[in-house]
Amino acid sequence: MEADRCDSVAPPVRSQGHGQGRRSPSPTQTDGGEASVSNDVTVQCRDFGGCTILTVPGDVDASRVNEIHGAAAAADSQHVVLDLGKASAVHPSAVSALVDLHHRIQARGGGVCIVTREIGVRSQVQEAASGSTPRFYDEIGDALEASMAARQASLSSRWADAVS
């Protein structure tokens, strides 16, 4: 089951002194004194109709790229939506790794859709990519629609080849 493969990627993390567990929310204090919860500890992976959504909780550095690659490998999906909506920057060492991820998934017959509104993030990735670049979207819904359409076209093509 694909969702299980995604869930198995995130390593257990220790919340800041408030217990431990995989992706455990850590209580924090807000200005009003009420407790709030934050789940932004690691790259989250989930399956959506055969497409893998990888959500990055902040800026992308080398350690986040390792998490992204691990999650993508575990999901073994041909269609990945990489949600960088909370990232304002991508470390230069991480840019080439993101482009490499796109090329590896493209070689398997799929592609990567990147969600970001940050012009700087888009231009960094586009400049580093030689030839084919990932597709960029402002909204995750648009990226999912494009990714699922590409997946459906791929499945239809394989089915047509199989029956001919």
The reported pLDDT for the residue numbered 40 is 57
Q: Tokens 């800026």 belong to which residue?
A: 59
Is the model more confident about 98 or about 9? 98
Where are the chain's structural domains? 2-13+40-163
pTM exceeds 0.75? no
Q: What does pLDDT average to over the chain?
A: 76
Q: Which homologous superfamily does the CATH classification assign to the domain defined by 2-13+40-163?
A: STAS domain (3.30.750.24)
Distances (CA, A) of 98 to 3, 38, 69, 72: 22, 26, 9, 11
